[in-house]
Structure 1
Amino acid sequence: MDDLLGYRLLIADVYELAGESRRTSEAMAREVGHSAARWHVLSVVSDGPRTVASAARRLGLTRQSVQRVVDDLVAAGQLELRTNPDHVRAPLVGLTGEGAATLDRLVRRSDADRGELLRRAGVGRAELDQARGVLRRLLGALHEPPTG
């Protein structure tokens, strides 16, 4: 029972941290004329082109909501659609040079803010790596089919 209570409290804290992070991200994104949703999509395709469905899964959002943001970013010259050799009807979405520059500005602005947050909290890399390890193990178990 203690483990289950610990899990529920961890998840509540993760949700609270994610919510606060989204609010501050939204404010930072507005400073450079974007939204957090646009920032998140730019970020998720920054490690290489992917389909809208893949981006949506990574962000935990519906494909339709990500498609709307992708369409806006393509129209703004921040993203481009590329031919997908694996699926003709699902193009790959990739950053343009302008999109990469926008993402760089957002990340630099965020790094300054988040660096100050970590300093105030007294949290360092080792603690962050440990916390991330726990979260990754939980995520891995959630993605596995239950045994028994």
Structure 2
Amino acid sequence: MTEGELFSAAAITSFRLNGQFLAVAEGMAKPVGLTASWWQVLGAVLHEPLPVSGIAREMGITRQSVQRIADLLVDKGLAEYRDNPAHRRAKLVAVTAEGLAAVRRISPQHAVLAKQLADKLGIDELQHAVEALQALSAVLEGWPS
């Protein structure tokens, strides 16, 4: 394959993989009353509250999309806005106890699917795939759009 063909194949494969991951995530999130997008935003703030812009950067999605989802999560009691000492107007999004409980209800199914994937691919091949995806992402980070 040429460089151009490899670049196209990487892009098309990434788009397909994204769709597949989203479908799997929807399947795991739906039984606990979440969507894949809600789970994604809650996952970004499980360890520390972040501003909407920080979540967007972390997840590679638009600030407007995160804002819409964060507002829904706050309305449903799964997240809350907190004052941000670093920026008066940009509130921090934090997971609530209810939001954390919802994410934790996904964990058993997540563990089952992770084990099945590792068993099917092999742990070394899965590790290699993750490293290759991370390397590709790092190269594209900050690439002119």
Q: TM-score range by the shorter chain?
A: 0.7 to 0.9
TM score, norm. by length of structure 2: 0.85
2:78–2:95 contact (8 Å) kept in structure 1: yes
Cα deviation for residue 145 of structure 1 reads 6.3
Query: Which consecutive unaligned segments of at least 5 residues does structure 2 have?
Result: none
Q: In structure 1, the residue corresponding to 2:94 is in which secondary structure?
A: strand
Cα deviation for residue 102 of structure 1 reads 0.8
Query: Which consecutive unaligned segments of at least 5 residues does structure 1 have?
Result: none
Q: Does 1:135 align with 2:103?
A: no
Percent of aligned pairs sharing the same letter: 36
Alpha-carbon distance between aligned partners in 1 of 2:126 and 2:84, rounded to the nearest angstrom: 36
Q: In structure 1, the residue corresponding to 2:80 is in which secondary structure?
A: strand
- Cα offsets for 1:16-39 (capped at 9, x unmatched): 122112112112211112211111
The Cα RMSD (Å) is 2.0
Alpha-carbon distance between aligned partners in 2 of 1:29 and 1:77, rounded to the nearest angstrom: 16
Cα deviation for residue 79 of structure 1 reads 0.9
Q: In structure 1, what is the equivalent of residue 83 of structure 2?
A: 83
Cα deviation for residue 106 of structure 1 reads 1.6
After TM superposition, list the pairs within 5 Å mapping 1:1-148 onto structure 2: 2-119=2-119, 122-143=120-141
- Cα offsets for 1:27-58 (capped at 9, x unmatched): 22111122111111111111311111111122
Q: In structure 1, the residue corresponding to 2:86 is in which secondary structure?
A: coil
**Mean CA deviation greater in 131-140 or 19-28:** 131-140
TM score, norm. by length of structure 1: 0.84
